[in-house]
């Protein structure tokens, strides 16, 4: 059952399917999956907060920041200014409440949504539309590429079926 945006909150503890279910290793694996998910969500919160600062710098009407502030900030973080602009876009398009609701969710394997997914979601107007896609990302394990295709309305490419190559007419005439 899909949850709505307003119902999002941390769910029941994850359970593993397969070989580890019910074994002593299950608790160990779940513990580390939870820790890794916590690290990932903390990183995304940090990127979001940095994006808020970058947004203030970019849209500051007072001129309090030097004209090359974004370039200098990117240099300090050893990243490209475009990465900082994408972080700013996430913070401008996705509210803190929406971010927290998304980060509270986990895919079946215990992993949260990725930052790259969040960046793509900024192309979608409307919280409800983004929420539907978040449910798909987690439930269907959509890759970033699959999400981009879905956002753009392009169906996922199907593998090309191998065709049996029949001899050409020219080759057939020489075999007779």
In a domain, 163, yes or no: no
Report DSSP state, residue 7. G
In a domain, 29, yes or no: yes
- Return d(Cα 136, Cα 54) in angstroms, integer: 30
Cβ count near 104 (within 10 Å): 13
- State the residue range of the domain holding 43: 20-156
- At 21, the pLDDT band (50, 70, 90 cuts) reads low
pLDDT in tens, 110-168: 889 999 999 999 999 999 999 999 999 999 999 999 999 999 986 555 554 444 444 44
In a domain, 67, yes or no: yes
pLDDT at 54 over 90: yes
In a domain, 107, yes or no: yes
pLDDT at 176 over 50: no
Sign of CA dihedral 168, 169, 172, 173: negative
In a domain, 161, yes or no: no
Give the number of domains in the chain: 1
Closest by alpha carbon to 33, among 106, 116, 94? Answer: 106
In a domain, 38, yes or no: yes
What the block records as the tokens of 20 is 């580890």
In a domain, 51, yes or no: yes
The pLDDT of residue 154: 61
- Return d(Cα 173, Cα 54) in angstroms, integer: 71
Domain containing residue 130: CATH number: 1.10.10
- At 172, the pLDDT band (50, 70, 90 cuts) reads very low
In a domain, 166, yes or no: no
């Amino acid at each position: 059952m899909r949850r709505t945006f307003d119902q999002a909150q941390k769910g029941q503890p994850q359970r593993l399917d397969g070989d580890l279910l019910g074994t002593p290793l299950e608790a160990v694996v779940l513990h580390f999956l939870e820790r890794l998910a916590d690290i990932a969500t903390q990183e995304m919160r940090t990127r979001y907060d940095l994006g808020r600062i970058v947004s203030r710098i970019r849209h500051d009407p007072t001129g309090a920041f030097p004209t090359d502030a974004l370039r200098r900030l990117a240099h300090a973080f050893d990243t490209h200014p475009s990465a900082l602009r994408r972080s700013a876009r996430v913070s401008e398009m996705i509210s803190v409440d929406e971010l927290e609701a998304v980060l509270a969710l986990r895919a079946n394997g215990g992993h949260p949504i990725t930052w790259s997914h969040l960046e793509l979601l900024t192309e979608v107007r409307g919280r409800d539309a983004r929420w539907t896609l978040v449910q798909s990302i987690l439930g269907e394990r959509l890759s970033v590429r699959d999400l981009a295709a879905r956002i753009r309305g392009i169906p996922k490419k199907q593998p090309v079926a191998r065709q049996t190559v029949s001899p050409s007419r020219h080759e057939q005439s020489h075999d007779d």
